[in-house]
Structure 1
Amino acid sequence: MSSTTPSDSSVRLVFRWWVIILVAIVGVLCLVAPFLYDPFGSWQVITSSTLTNVGTTMTFAAVLFFLERAFVRRVAGQARQQAQEVVVEATADLREENRRLSAKLSDLSDLLEGADLRREQAREQAIEDFENEVSFDTVARLLETANDLNAIRHGTITVPAAADIHAPRVSIFWGRSYRQSALGEPAVELALRNDRRQIVRLDWTAEVPVQEAAREFDRRTRAAGLLAEADAIDFKVLLVNFRNAVSAATEGRSSSEAWPNGRVTEWLTDDWAVTDQGVEVRDRGVVIPVDEFPSLDVRGQSRRRKTHPHQRPDWVDDDFWTVVTTIVDAHHARGSRPSSGYAPTPYTSQTTPRLSKGVESSQ
């Protein structure tokens, strides 16, 4: 069907030209006929009539020309006006849509700023509540705040149990694990560790006051034959170090300029922390990158240790550096984690059983 279209067009075009030519021939014949045939009258009369008709036609043509120009101008003006109105209407719709989009983006920005503000307020409130009263509930809530921000690695943080850098180190965890399933009720886990191996554990449940938890932890440590460790542990200092570690870890998630940059694994002392970036020092950066940490072998059973010591910065005391490198050698590299059934899941403010299951601290 489409192949016949050009032919039809050509026929119509030829037909129109023949009509114009035919009309022109007829017009010429009409003008000449009165001069060729006598019945039309004398030539003077014919000439007068012809000139009158020609003048009338030319005058009419001139009038039509000026009318046509005025008509075209008016039509063009109306077309431009209509086009402008269409453009104005379209741009008005576009401006309104842009205004609505800007309002939505502004609402989104306000929403994000509000969420950031609420997180910061929750962080500050959790720290303040812990400082006002140490209990199962305030310890668990502080860990939930850190887990909300993914500020501590695997939901566990290890801190010195005394003021001395050589003090025993205790890991604290609040989450779901196979032990929690066996225990039957949620508990904050405190574990005394030596070379990353757990040697004493306490499941601190909600109904146990902090003083009783401290006494029970001391009793279990002594029962394990760790008298030197039991004498060195200061539960009050342990909790202060825990507060400082979580506070710094969560503050490090507040901005790119805050310290530390990585997720905290272990708190060494003020301004020193082991993170998933390495050993970080406030205002000094990473002094031992995580890539230099020893890693597990393919079976996940033993650690491949470095054959050369870590380079000590000039501004670090030699004895302190020895302690730091000993702690580092107890860690394995980022991403390495021994398989033990299924990994524990830290509780957050959204998954905590404290409120949903009515778990409350004892006053």
Structure 2
Amino acid sequence: MKTILVTGGLGFIGSNFLNDFVINNLDKNIINIDSQTYAASTKSTLDLNQFSNYKYYNIDILNKEDIDNLFSSYNFDLILHFAAESHVDNSILDPLIFAKTNTIGTLNLLDTFKNYKNFNDKLFYHISTDEVFGSTKKGYFDELSQYKPSSPYSASKAASDHFVMAYYKTYNLPVIISHCSNNFGPWQYKEKLIPVVINSIIENKTIPIYGNGLNIRDWIFVEDHISAIKFLIKNHSVGETYCIGSNNELSNIDLVKKICKISDKILKNNTPSDNLIKYVNDRPGHDLRYAINSKKINSLGWSPSTSFNKSLEKTINWYISNKKWFI
């Protein structure tokens, strides 16, 4: 029976992955480690505790001794590394914790993994971000794009990417990296843009928009990201990177207005929620545009399958139904 390690499995993307993967892979042992930082949710994986092939440990990837002990206890065939500090605003306030968790934490995992004597059929899959490429006014990021991180967050992720590839080249570790565009969906912590907007509408509070609201992002529903990850687990070349996007480019203001319109319909609001919009001072180093070219993974056979509008409506309904957990 294969054994899989998932780091950061109580976070947004990690928990969505586990809720799909555990149930559909009962023939695999799945170990989830998470240090339960402020953005983690133990509720997100509660339903998994009934499955005998799933086990959770409260372990911080910065604790090298705990990581060493874990790898001594289990012979992992696949490591899916989701764990990361990810909120850009917080990285501006406290860059050091991002450097520690995202860079040193990744290095701890890699350094322990390299002590395995046999790497046959093993894989270290590092989930990264398109933010490492910086901003682009036109065109699209792809696997050959130059790294130009603009924030302490993206710099820490860029550093972790470089360590992953360095361990591949120096120690022959079997690794892959994927860079994904902006995710949205259930269980995303309330500090991110889409949950902020939805919760502001529910509470009839101001909806803050950075700068002029014209910053553009490519949005991907978390279920599509999960399907891409599962696809790459089976369809990859060791030492390669893969870009994952969904071709849903929207300016922040257009996205917010779309959320307002859908939410007003669901909540039957008499007053348009876009009246709550307020432009606030832009954050330092705010990238203008991210856009991903997914041709490489598309050519292998993967493409997103969800409708953006339907996925956004599904997400809004989820936050409305679970508002007691997030407001």
Is TM-score (shorter-chain normalized) higher than 0.5? no
After TM superposition, the score normalised by the length of structure 2 is 0.24
After TM superposition, the score normalised by the length of structure 1 is 0.22
Structure number, greater radius of gyration:
1
Whichever structure has more helix as a proportion of its residues is: 1
